[in-house]
Amino acid sequence: EAQVTQNPRYLITVTGKKLTVTCSQNMNHEYMSWYRQDPGLGLRQIYYSMNVEVTDKGDVPEGYKVSRKEKRNFPLILESPSPNQTSLYFCASSLWQGTDTQYFGPGTRLTVL
């Protein structure tokens, strides 16, 4: 089944404790992206990647890192999480860079205490 998977789905952590949210797609998509969703703000793009080893900042990249060492995986890294990073996070992928239907993962609800 074609899908985007994220892990974990739920995470409660404390300020400053490094964490990684994994994202994987099995559709051989070139383009992958991370978004955060906050009430009243819609979805905002954090980082995106147009291909392996090619990443770029979205609208709200501060406090996040990403890497794209393989086409299928695009992990989101929070080196020192803070409470303002409490949010619902989505990973997405599409065949080509942006100008194509995007498929979303199930979301990761992160709480930073």
Query: Pairing mode, if any, of strands 108-112 and 10-13?
Result: parallel
Give least dist CB 111 to other proteins, A.
15
Beta-sheet pairing, 42-51 with 54-57: antiparallel
State the nearest-atom distance from the C-beta of 22 to other proteins, in Å: 18
Q: Which residues bind other proteins (CB under 8 A)?
A: 31, 33, 35, 40-45, 48, 50, 56, 58-59, 88, 90, 92, 97-104, 106-107
The whole-angstrom distance between residue 49's C-alpha and the CA centroid of its chain comes to: 10
Alpha carbon distance 81, 24 (integer Å): 22
CA dist., res. 96 & res. 105, Å (int): 17
Nearer to other proteins, 42 or 69 (CB): 42
Nearer to other proteins, 19 or 88 (CB): 88
CB of 6 to other proteins, least distance (A): 12
